[in-house]
Structure 1
Amino acid sequence: MLSRPRMAIDTKWDEVNTKLRRSAVGVMVAVSVVSMAAPAEAAPGWRITATPDRNAGLRGLAVTGPNSAWAAGYQSVNSEAVPVVRRWNGKTWQRMPLPASVKGAYLHSVSATSNTNVWISGSNGRRKQYWMRWNGKRWAVVTGELPEESWPHSPRLLAVGAGDVWSFGRAGAGPIGPDVRHYNGRRWRRVKAPGLIVRADAVSGKDVWATGWTPGERGPIPTVMRWNGTSWRKQAQPLGVRATGTVAGGVLALGSKNVWVAGADSTGRGLLLRWNGKTWSKRPAPIKGTLSELVDDGNGGLWMLAGRRLVHYKAGKWTTRAVPGRTGLQTEIGVLARVPKTTSIWAVGALVDKKSIDKSSVVLKYGK
């Protein structure tokens, strides 16, 4: 079996219940156990549109238009990891040829602002990391090595512009050692941060919001952080709120006075927070578990994940739906992304069997 490195926090400090699972391309990882207030129905509008690769899963996704999307992950071939990048051209998910220098890489995060500014990160399951950029014609690859005793880790990316890209990683043996880097169009440089950044979204290059963990007397504290164009700062938030879950929460920055954070409260129940420029307000969810993968639905609402359930929120109303699967297989979604200027949502992940072994990569869509 291949190891499946993922960004994770030591659950020693986390009150969210967890379970361990092993996949065909995976080692044990922590996943939030989610129970719904009521049985979920099949999701109207959500459907599986493609299962492009056997024994594989797609972990990252970026959508730049109705006819343009990028997904990345990895495939198990003869017990070896094979990196996978697929590009949506409006008709099919075309598999992209990759440089020999990323052979054996586990690709994880994708961020793009256009088809000439696509960024993908990965790792070799040990200390080596990869940052790949597609400029519309070819790939450029930068590699780096984590310090000794670091966990295998792929950084998470946020592309704000061609000369404005963030990389959020974890380095060292401690539970929340941040490794934040910024690309200015010419070179990468390390940037200080108050803690480990798990998720991030940008209003602009000078207004970036993130969820993550900062040091506390009794262990890591879930925290909202903000980049003001000069430095990263902790953002004031309601006491006792878990801003992110064990593996991932969610943050959506629609404006400097309209920021949403998804996660779970101190009891482990799903929760949305909204920043209006002055204060945070709470919207408790009828869900036991961490909300993650927060995206705008394009119609005044939000889509999220809670384990293998899709969660929708709009104007105080919550609805939950089961993720579509296939006979004998369940769908594990890795990431959601909205098609810009539409109400359509793409999702990618893996079809898994009863043992949580990846049998095929999968692509889902909501709307047209």
Structure 2
Amino acid sequence: MKTSKKLAVAGSAVLAGGLAVTGALVVTDPGESKTAASVGASAATVWPLVQSGAYSGTSQLNGIVAAPDGSVWAGGSLVTQRKSLLKKLSGGKWSDVALPASLGAYDMGTLGASSASDVWALGRPTVSGAPALLHWNGTKWAKSALPASFTPDQFAVVNAKNAWMTGYGPVGKRWNGTAWSDSTIGINPVKIDALSASNAWAAGFVREEAQPAVARWNGTAWSRVPFPKIGGIDQSQRSPAFNDVEVVAANDVWAVGAVPVKDAAGKTAMRSLFAHWNGAAWSHTLGAPGTGFAQVESDGAGGIWILDDTKTLRHRTAAGAWTAETLAAPAGRTALVYGMARQAGTKTIWVAGNTIDAKRMAATAIWRSNS
């Protein structure tokens, strides 16, 4: 199951100037890379803010994850108080989760979970120190040691005996219920998602090739899956990459990201990358210059949700219709999104992030979709 990840882009704020969706949002034929015209979106709806500003000083939520049993977790930090923050959805309400008293000041925004009794939390120090890796077994938290040579970044948790942890290089870690062991992925993964113990996908890039890349786990080993080469990439810019992957079924995988591409005049602009795996091959589309996609999530009905880097949350139905959504925010504050997750067995999407005022002071915020 896909982990939460702190996004480098802002999320949905009030849309200005209409609802035009810039960028290509249509899957093309396998092996092709096309630029599509802007796609019109129907009128947006507003998602309610269900939790906001519950703590004194600056606070933030930087990630959220949903487990197959319906439990949902969100994490971040109480910045002013220099405390870690982890929240859980229970009975339709969000409450704080007790963490070890000795934990200290960490950002708990990277999470992975297969159930309410199998939760992984990666704490990033907000003051100083090394990352903290915690596991919840339903009764207590246990802290695991991390090798100095490995900097963890993401989780994909299938069950208590099958989990993945990736870092910033081509070698990840696999959990067998007792210990973590090295596993070569073959690409630089930015995001990882697992449908089962024998079906996981990693999406990211290959630095040496300056191309986005994907790899698949078949239960025994990782193998790189061919992805059509994207022409015109400016290799002097930051590495083109997928930013997220969503495994819906063996023949239904989505991946989104951004690539720096030169136009006919030699000018470079970031363009959103939208891709789909149909069980046999990858197809993809590049969006208009100045666009980028950060995260993708299934809507539970054959469609997907996407966070882009224009402060917009977008929905694509199974039929291919697009809408742009907005998030409610208190007067004088702007909504920023850092993660979204669909509650298992429902169409409900939970969004975690912050609202900020004119002085950029942040307060935790959680939104819920209208469906």
Return the letter of the residue paired with 1:260: W
The share of aligned pairs that are identical, in percent, is 27
Aligned residue for 1:349? 353
CA 1:100–1:32: 2 relative to 1, 3 Å: closer
Number of residue pairs matched? 326
State the Cα distance separating 1:326 from its structure 2 match.
2.3
| CA distance in 1 between partners of 2:43 and 2:83 (Å) | 33
Deviation sequence 1:241-284 (CA, Å, 0-9, x none): 89x99797221111221111112355433332111122222355
Q: TM-score, normalised by structure 2?
A: 0.78
Are the counterparts in 2 of residues 107 and 122 from structure 1 also a CA contact under 8 Å? yes
State the Cα distance separating 1:179 from its structure 2 match.
4.8
Aligned residue for 1:189? 181
CA 1:101–1:265: 2 relative to 1, 3 Å: same
Deviation sequence 1:16-54 (CA, Å, 0-9, x none): xxxxxxxxxxxxxx64899x9963498425121101334
What is the aligned counterpart of 2:314 among 298, 311, 316? 311
**1:92 and 2:96 matched:** no
CA 1:7–1:231: 2 relative to 1, 3 Å: farther
Deviation sequence 1:54-92 (CA, Å, 0-9, x none): 4111122122379732111111135xx311011111242
Are the counterparts in 2 of residues 343 and 367 from structure 1 also a CA contact under 8 Å? no
**1:225 and 2:228 matched:** no
Deviation sequence 1:137-174 (CA, Å, 0-9, x none): 11111132534xx9xx652111111111111112xxxx
Is there any run of 5+ residues in structure 1 with no aligned partner, and where? Answer: 1-5, 9-29, 171-176
Is there any run of 5+ residues in structure 2 with no aligned partner, and where? Answer: 20-41, 262-269
Aligned residue for 1:365? 368
Aligned residue for 1:254? 248
**1:138 and 2:140 matched:** yes
Query: RMSD of the TM alignment (CA)?
Result: 3.2
Aligned residue for 1:212? 204
Are the counterparts in 1 of residues 11 and 313 from structure 2 also a CA contact under 8 Å? no
State the Cα distance separating 1:328 from its structure 2 match.
1.7
Deviation sequence 1:303-344 (CA, Å, 0-9, x none): 010132101112232222333322221111111111112111
1:148-187 equivalence runs, <5 A? 155-170=153-168, 177-187=169-179
Return the letter of the residue paired with 2:338: G
State the Cα distance separating 1:193 from its structure 2 match.
2.2
Are the counterparts in 2 of residues 68 and 90 from structure 1 also a CA contact under 8 Å? no
| CA distance in 2 between partners of 1:310 and 1:347 (Å) | 10
CA 1:256–1:331: 2 relative to 1, 3 Å: same
Greater relative contact order structure (CA < 8 Å, 6+ sep): 2
| CA distance in 1 between partners of 2:6 and 2:367 (Å) | 23
Q: Secondary structure at the match of 1:133?
A: strand
| CA distance in 2 between partners of 1:352 and 1:367 (Å) | 23
Aligned residue for 1:280? 282
Q: Secondary structure at the match of 2:76?
A: strand
Greater shift, 332-341 or 263-272, is seen at: 263-272
| CA distance in 1 between partners of 2:9 and 2:241 (Å) | 7
Aligned residue for 2:297? 295
State the Cα distance separating 1:238 from its structure 2 match.
1.6
Are the counterparts in 2 of residues 178 and 197 from structure 1 also a CA contact under 8 Å? yes
Q: TM-score, normalised by structure 1?
A: 0.78
CA 1:361–1:247: 2 relative to 1, 3 Å: farther
